[in-house]
Amino acid sequence: MSVDMKLDRAQFDAVMVPNYAPAAVIPVRGEGSRVWDQEGNEFIDFAGGIAVNCLGHCHPALVNALKTQGEKLWHLSNVMTNEPALALATKLVNSTFADKVYFANSGAEANEAALKLARRYALEKHGVEKDEIIAFDKAFHGRTFFTVSVGGQAAYSDGFGPKPQSITHLPFNDVAALEAAVTDKTCAIMLEPLQGEGGIIDADPAFLKAVRELANKHNALVIFDEVQTGVGRTGELYAYMGTEIVPDILTTAKALGGGFPIAAMLTTAEIAEHLKVGTHGSTYGGNPLACAIGNAVLDVVNTPEVLDGVKHREQLLRDGLNKINEKYHVFSEVRGKGLLLGAVLNEQYQGRSRDFLVASVAEGLMSLMAGANVVRFAPSLVIPEADIAEGLARFERAVASIAAA
């Protein structure tokens, strides 16, 4: 088959597997919180690649790390280690509850490793009967067969044949359901401290307390999926730091590379020892190029200036969204934490989050959906205040166009 080289939206349909339906806009350049398409149209980025571009586009520290390491060493097999991986693992250990780090390429890979570790830990420590994983409705943990089955959204997991077994889904934030479900057969309870794809739903403190207490009582592990909330997104380096509990295993990806593929699973030494040599692996996990960029990301993000700045920017964004809503009455609430916020559409506009996304693009703003009823925002953690104001002005025009229709 021969296809002409035409780099437009139609070419996507010609040469790409149709599992995505991208917009007509094709960005070609980004700087900070602004992006330009093939025609030179400018957009303010409130989407951040779905909470990936934590420092915006082409941040100088990340560009420098990429160039510097790119001229030294890109990849080794895991029969060797490398300096950037050791440095990044050390920074993660020194900044969190963890003693040990496993590197991967994506959030799904990190979650796959976490789930396999939890199962193996239970098998070796407690026996073959202890294999049940408790997860929650509307959760999202990735697209591998295991992680998508643990995720609580049938739309993503159905249609691929028999699913992995011993997975129980419960309503999120339902303490009574949790108390009834957790038993001595439970090996792990997996959750997002703030559900992203499920609609920007924060875990209640009482619910998290029950998760930790029940896990302790039944010798189960608590896995925090911080793929979307981690690396400063909530105003803490990791969201668990803003709660009263500490997980046994934590996964991180997305913002860890600021746009470059890298992920990690963090855990304690006692749990980590059950992934012995040869039990799990990743070809590219921990490669020098990705880890060099991850080091640069942490050096910038894990500072009081940036983390405190996230909380300040959250308030600016919340205030702006609330002001828009006072005028147009389209949202029932604005929920979330830090710079992962969701504007929940009220009854009159139910099911129309995509309309708001399309209208925003027409006004020069990139935003997101979190289901059919939530408009999601995940801008750069260091987005300039002027860009927040301009982005809100563009969003107001988008809202006005829908309200007037």
Q: Is 360 annotated as a binding residue?
A: no
Among candidate residues 225, 331, 337, 377, the one labeled active-site is 225
Tokens matching residue 76 = 């080794």
Q: Are 215 and 189 in contact (CB under 8 A)?
A: yes
Among candidate residues 130, 138, 254, 337, the one labeled active-site is 254
Q: Is 225 annotated as a binding residue?
A: yes
Angstrom distances, CA of residue 132 to CA of 142, 169, 224:
19, 11, 16
Residue 53 has φ and ψ, to the nearest 5°, of -80, 70
Give the count of alpha carbons within 13 A of 94, CB side only.
10
Q: Is 158 annotated as a binding residue?
A: no
Query: How would you label 228-266 residue by residue, b for 16+ Cβ within 10 Å and e otherwise?
Result: bbbbbbbbbbbbbeebebebbbbbbbbbbbbbbbbbbbb
Q: Is 212 annotated as a binding residue?
A: no
Among candidate residues 140, 146, 172, 356, the one labeled active-site is 140
Q: Is 199 annotated as a binding residue?
A: no
How far the first Cα of the chain sits from its last, in Å, is 45
Q: Is 119 annotated as a binding residue?
A: no
Q: Is 282 annotated as a binding residue?
A: yes
Instruction: Give the integer Cα–Cα distance in Å for 323 and 284.
Output: 46
Tokens matching residue 144 = 């591998």
Sheet with strand 374-377: strands edge to edge: 331-337, 340-345, 374-377, 368-369
Written as one string, the DSSP assignment of 335-359 is: EEETTEEEEEE-GGGTT-HHHHHHH
Q: Considering only CA atoms, which of 329, 318, 316 is closest in space to residue 402?
A: 329
Q: Is 283 annotated as a binding residue?
A: yes
Q: Is 228 annotated as a binding residue?
A: yes
Q: Is 254 among the catalytic positions?
A: yes
Instruction: Give the integer Cα–Cα distance in Å for 383 and 392.
Output: 13
Q: Is 130 among the catalytic positions?
A: no
160 burial level (CB within 10 Å; 0-12, 13-18, 19+): exposed
**CA-based Rg of the chain, rounded to a whole angstrom?**
21
Angstrom distances, CA of residue 309 to CA of 108, 118, 196:
29, 35, 21
Q: Is 2 annotated as a binding residue?
A: no
Query: How would you label 125-138 residue by residue, b for 16+ Cβ within 10 Å and e otherwise?
Result: ebeeebbbbbbbbb
Q: Is 356 among the catalytic positions?
A: no
Tokens matching residue 50 = 């779905």
Angstrom distances, CA of residue 382 to CA of 95, 209, 300, 320, 379:
20, 32, 10, 17, 8
Catalytic residues, which ones?
Answer: 140, 225, 254
User: Would you list which residues are annotated within the binding site for pyridoxal 5'-phosphate?
Assistant: 107-108, 140, 225-228, 283
User: Would you list which residues are annotated within the binding site?
Assistant: 107-108, 140, 143, 225-228, 282-283
User: Would you list which residues are annotated within the binding site for N(2)-acetyl-L-ornithine?
Assistant: 143, 282
